[in-house]
Structure 1
Amino acid sequence: MVLTTVSFHSAGVPVAAHLYTPDTPASGPRPALVVGHPGTGVKEQTSGTYARLMAERGFVTLAFDAAHQGESGGLPRGLEDPAQRVEDFKAAVSWLTARDGVDADRIGLLGICASGSYSLAATGSDRRVKAVATVSTAEPARQFRFGADGTQDPAVFQALLDAAAAARSTAARGEDPGAMTMFPQTVQEARALGGEHGAEGFEYYCTARGGHERSAKTLAWESIDRMALHDAFHAVPLIGPRPVLQVIGERAVTAWMALEAHRRTTGPAEIHWIEGASHVDLYDKKQYVDLAVDRLTEFFTTHLTAEPRLLPARPVSAQPV
């Protein structure tokens, strides 16, 4: 497997990416995957892990930093703009279609966490994408509005909207509006604020386990009101008849979002549960990631063909007990 640093433009913003190419012989152009990272993540973290593992299984893969984040360009820094995030996926597809060694008719999307929802939206509106899969699907707009587990008091998001509005007024006066802090100072604080899901996120992003110097620890305040207007699942019905696979940990408190997206599908769709795994476990824990990659490999091998074969059924899986 060969890693190459590349770049492309997304709505005029330069996007930094890593291209992973299998080093085994091929009889012709290969199928390719665009791999998107979780919210606040960068391409060197879990999206890079999945891109490398899928490249080892014969796919050309492209892991990128979202515009305004990581090594990509764009101001303000740390902006989470759902529309731009969807555009990033489409721009990555465009770049791959012109790449030697890539079969432009066999391109799929793989989104992790926040990119799971954005990859679904991109697929719904981009017919060049032949299949889409997600891992630990989450939609930032829903998570900010309703909390990771869907039970958050609506007053929390109203307060965030107030803060975002105040930040815009501060910026209009030529003053620094600051940014929204994404993580507390300690894992204990993270657990108190967000339960085990919050603690696991802190342990991944803020410790040696998975932390990276370029992963976002703050978000630009205008991210909040942009997310208030967006529903990444709106385009899910447009995906059919192309196939959808969502890989979810059975202990993921965010699973309700994947189930909501699944209910909106109109074509072949499957939820594949990983026994014992939480949302964040699927970022980097080998015993769970390997199981996810096995199923992803089966899915994309089946459907990224010249004449894609559809899934035989559309199971609405019940979460295992």
Structure 2
Amino acid sequence: MATVRKVTFPSNGIPIVGDLYLPPSGAPDRKRSAIVVSHPWTGVKEQTAGLHAQHLASAGFVALAFDAAYQGESGGEPRLLENPFQRAEDARAAVTFLSTLADEVDPERVGALGICALGGYVPFAAQTDTRMKAVATVSGACVGRLTREGLLPKGGYPKEQFVAMLKSANALRVREARKEPQELLATLPDNPEDVPESAPDLFRDAAWYYRTDRARHPRAPNKYDARSADLLGNYDSYAFNDLISPRPLLMIAGTDADTLYFSEAAIEKAKEPKELFLVKGKRHVDLYDDLSETMPKLVDFFAKNIV
């Protein structure tokens, strides 16, 4: 089993708390290669990010899973704010932290993995952070587009709804300045049975993942600050994906995921070397904890590109 060490590092002055997974004795020698592993929107490091980090460490990589700013054990106010630019900065700060661990990490052998929304934020960060020598995503999505459009395979929502979200977020800035209570929105019903049958698979599957013993965690309250909307509204994860090249980009998605179109669009924006790896019959959330096909692919990708 990998050894896990609690660590703290700064990101824009905010203390970020992470779990550093170190390879067990007998693991393959990856020449002190390390991978930053970033968790989904409203998640925490103890869920799918930690699972991926544990498996990567068992395969010989140093792996860092961490709570984003405003989330989990990390600092930052207001709590549960979703700031895409801070999220990207957290990934860059994680690379900086790993690069200081001279006895355990080779700064020239650092890769990055983002899951779900971080499958958008991590490529965004990598576009201008050349220290990320290889970039991978699992079930990637752009939360900026989701905020503007909704989930398109199910029809999305009209621009008027987006504008109303922006106006509400703008008003909440004044409430925050007055020290009035936050407006926190639930991303999912607490009871998965309450998800409407007409809802996209993403929301139904996410409820069964986050709101049951499969992945429920006390520091992941299934909420976000409604003020986040005007931070997310003009954010685009993949617009400059061409800047990642010549570093390699791997995007993994399920063939049945209703978010697949994000990975397809992101790969289209990228230059070689790039790969869209599809897992047959899997949906978005399936890949959070079914690593049977994705982990061998990730290990092979990072072994070829950062070791």
TM-superposition CA deviations, 1:24-45 (whole Å, max 9, x none): 2576841100000000010000
How far does residue 194 in structure 1 lie from its aligned partner after superposition?
2.7
TM-superposition CA deviations, 1:43-85 (whole Å, max 9, x none): 0000000000011111000000000101000000001100000
- In 2, are the aligned partners of 1:69 and 1:216 still within 8 Å (CA)? no
Question: Which residue matches 2:71?
Answer: 69
Matching of residue 16 in structure 1 with residue 20 in structure 2? no
- In 1, are the aligned partners of 2:91 and 2:122 still within 8 Å (CA)? yes
Q: How does 1:177-256 map to 2 (within 5 A)?
A: 177-192=182-197, 194-256=199-261
Q: How does 1:51-200 map to 2 (within 5 A)?
A: 51-99=53-101, 100-150=103-153, 151-154=155-158, 155-192=160-197, 194-200=199-205
1:61 and 1:193 map into 2 onto residues whose CA distance is 38
TM-superposition CA deviations, 1:187-225 (whole Å, max 9, x none): 243234633221111111111111111114211122110
Structure 2 residue aligned with 1:295, among 291, 294, 297? 297
How far does residue 169 in structure 1 lie from its aligned partner after superposition?
3.1
2:188 and 2:46 map into 1 onto residues whose CA distance is 19
- In 2, are the aligned partners of 1:108 and 1:129 still within 8 Å (CA)? yes
Structure 1 gaps of 5+ residues are 306-321
SS in 2 for 1:234: coil
Question: Which residue matches 1:310?
Answer: none
Residue identity opposite 1:204 in structure 2: Y
SS in 1 for 2:199: helix
Normalising by structure 1, we get a TM-score of 0.90
- In 2, are the aligned partners of 1:168 and 1:177 still within 8 Å (CA)? no
Distance change in 2, residues 1:166/1:101 (3 Å): same
Q: How many residues align?
A: 302
Residue identity opposite 1:2 in structure 2: T
1:6 and 1:163 map into 2 onto residues whose CA distance is 37
Distance change in 2, residues 1:230/1:264 (3 Å): same
1:284 and 1:261 map into 2 onto residues whose CA distance is 23
2:218 and 2:46 map into 1 onto residues whose CA distance is 10
- In 2, are the aligned partners of 1:121 and 1:233 still within 8 Å (CA)? yes
More deviation, 147-156/111-120: 147-156
Residue identity opposite 1:223 in structure 2: S
Distance change in 2, residues 1:239/1:3 (3 Å): same
2:70 and 2:133 map into 1 onto residues whose CA distance is 28
Question: Which residue matches 2:42?
Answer: 40
How far does residue 185 in structure 1 lie from its aligned partner after superposition?
4.1
2:161 and 2:227 map into 1 onto residues whose CA distance is 16
TM-superposition CA deviations, 1:231-284 (whole Å, max 9, x none): 121331110011000110111000111111111102210010111110000011
- In 1, are the aligned partners of 2:36 and 2:91 still within 8 Å (CA)? yes
2:104 and 2:229 map into 1 onto residues whose CA distance is 40
- In 1, are the aligned partners of 2:20 and 2:63 still within 8 Å (CA)? yes
SS in 1 for 2:79: coil
More deviation, 156-165/113-122: 156-165
What's the C-alpha RMSD, in Å, of the aligned pairs?
1.6
Question: Which residue matches 2:5?
Answer: 4
- In 2, are the aligned partners of 1:250 and 1:278 still within 8 Å (CA)? yes
Normalising by structure 2, we get a TM-score of 0.94
- In 1, are the aligned partners of 2:201 and 2:258 still within 8 Å (CA)? no
1:74 and 1:149 map into 2 onto residues whose CA distance is 32
